[in-house]
């Protein structure tokens, strides 16, 4: 018997197991994690538009927004007016809000800012 160099077997998951576990975790996180940094729609979508600062829904309008999926390009009003958006940023809404996300857009002509929100039961 050769006790000086016994064959050692590792019963752990090993490097291959760690790689597989990391890939599965990455897939699950990417599949179920929402990306709040981009608009939630692509194409034309009915949304709620609220001029900032706003404190009640009296400052909000139902309009159509146009997005390419990575940014909001324009806001279309029912009276055929529009805003060609100069800047947008999207984020997760506070948990006390009635929606889970919003985007902020700026009108380049006058510098006004608006929040773009998904439509909900209240509006």
Residue 3 domain-assigned?
no
pLDDT of residue 13: 65
Domain count across the chain: 1
Q: What is the pTM of this model?
A: 0.69
32-50: pLDDT as tens digits = 667 788 999 999 999 999 9
Residue 70 domain-assigned?
yes
Q: Which two tokens stand for residue 46?
A: 């009915």
Residue 66 domain-assigned?
yes
In DSSP terms, 53 is beta-bridged to none
58-84: pLDDT as tens digits = 789 999 999 999 999 999 999 999 999
Residue 83 domain-assigned?
yes
Show the domain range for 55. Answer: 43-118
Query: Among candidates 70, 49, 59, which has minimal Cα distance to 117?
Result: 49
| Distance set, CA 114 to CA 12, 25, 38, 69, 98 (Å) | 55, 37, 16, 19, 17
């Amino acid at each position: 018997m050769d006790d000086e160099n016994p064959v050692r077997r590792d019963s752990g998951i090993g490097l291959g197991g760690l790689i597989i576990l990391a890939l599965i975790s990455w897939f699950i996180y990417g599949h179920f994690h929402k990306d709040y940094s981009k608009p939630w729609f692509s194409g034309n979508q009915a949304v709620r538009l609220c001029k900032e600062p706003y404190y009640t829904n009296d400052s909000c309008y139902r309009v159509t927004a146009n997005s390419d999926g990575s940014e909001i390009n324009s806001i279309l009003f029912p009276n055929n007016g529009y805003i060609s958006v100069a800047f947008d940023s999207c984020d997760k809404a506070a948990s006390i809000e009635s929606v889970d996300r919003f985007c902020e857009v700026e009108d380049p002509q006058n510098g006004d800012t608006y929040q773009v929100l998904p439509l909900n039961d209240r509006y």
